[in-house]
């Protein structure tokens, strides 16, 4: 009965590969987010979707493409992986786009070799 | 969103109150103060938020100064499981996003 879940938890891959990270929330929330936490532990917003519609894109390279098949899912696909993409990626959700509280998933640690 | 300043780290003895300060001297009238924490290897967790008045919930209390330029998060009886990085975030209402800074690493010791 996990509220916000992500798969996989760990992802190790070679430079140049394409990979996806999946996120699902069972809270009935309208809004979902992707954050990136780099090696210096800074947590930065990447994308936000509201009811399957992209509402925030924080100048993320277009190698990153979020996809929301329905409002309970927000997947992150990354093309042509680079060393600098190594980080922990967190998915989050909130009841609405203007809601105070965001609920975060456990994170996916991506390592690009 | 207004910038916040927090101490890099703090220590607290188990069972004692942990008081985590945050400066937000450029806060605007419509900006709220939020606190999140991140326990090692987990996703951030919402703690509490407020606008002007002091707030309390089952996790913590938030004290905001009258001029709103600073606030303090209080964990009344810290436990070892409260060891985490605590983030003070100032965010306008509406559709703005959360901007995380460096936070304060709170270490609760036996």
Write phi, then psi, for A85 (nearest 5 degrees).
-80, -10
Query: What pLDDT, on the 0 to 100 scale, is given for residue B1?
Result: 58
CB contact, 8 Å: A3 with chain B? no
* pLDDT value of residue A32: 93
pLDDT at residue A109, rounded to an integer = 97
User: DSSP string spanning chain B?
Assistant: ----B--SEEEEETTS-EEEEEE-TT--TTEEEEEEEE-TTS--EEEEEESSS-EE-SS-EEEE-TTSSEEEEEETT--GGG-EEEEEEEEESSSPPP-----EEEEEE-
List, for chain A, all residue ranges whose pLDDT scores fall below the cut of 50. none
Give the model's confidence band at B91: pLDDT under 50 very low, under 70 low, under 90 confident, else very high. Answer: confident
B95 touches chain A (CB under 8 A): yes
Chain A hits for B98, Cβ within 8 Å: 45, 102
**CA trace torsion B82, A95, A21, B97 (10° rounding):** -70
Task: Give the model's pLDDT for residue B11.
Answer: 97
pLDDT at B96: 65
Query: Is B97–A92 a contact, with Cβ atoms under 8 angstroms apart?
Result: no
Split at pLDDT 50, 70, 90, the class of B24 is very high
Residue of A nearest to B42 (CA): A106
Mutate to test the interface with B, among A5, A33, A43 (most CBs of B within 10 A): A43
* Gap between the Cα atoms of B77 and A53, Å rounded: 43
* Nearest residue, CB atoms, B45 vs list A48, A58, A104: A104
Confidence at residue B58, expressed as pLDDT on a 0 to 100 scale? 95
- Taking 80 as the threshold, does the pLDDT of residue B40 lie above it? yes
Q: What is the mean pLDDT of residues B48-53?
A: 92
């Amino acid at each position: 009965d996990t509220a916000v879940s992500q798969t996989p938890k760990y992802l190790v891959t070679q430079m140049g590969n394409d990979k996806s990270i999946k996120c699902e929330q069972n809270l009935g929330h309208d809004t979902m987010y992707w954050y990136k936490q780099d090696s210096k532990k800074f947590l930065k917003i990447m994308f936000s979707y509201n009811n399957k519609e992209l509402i925030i894109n924080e100048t993320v390279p277009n190698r990153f493409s979020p996809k929301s098949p329905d409002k309970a899912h927000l997947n992150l696909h990354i093309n042509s992986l680079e060393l600098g993409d190594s980080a922990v990626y967190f998915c989050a959700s909130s009841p609405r786009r203007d809601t105070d509280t965001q609920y975060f998933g456990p994170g996916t640690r991506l390592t690009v070799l | 969103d207004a910038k916040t300043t927090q101490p890099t780290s703090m220590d607290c003895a188990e069972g004692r109150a942990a008081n985590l300060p945050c400066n937000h001297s450029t806060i605007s009238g419509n900006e709220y103060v939020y606190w999140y924490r991140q326990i090692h290897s987990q996703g951030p967790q919402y703690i509490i938020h407020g606008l002007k008045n002091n707030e309390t919930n089952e996790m913590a209390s938030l004290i905001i100064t009258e001029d709103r330029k600073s606030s303090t998060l209080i964990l009344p009886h810290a436990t070892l499981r409260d060891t985490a990085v605590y983030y003070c975030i100032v965010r306008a209402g509406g559709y703005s996003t959360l901007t995380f800074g460096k936070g304060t690493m709170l270490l609760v010791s036996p």
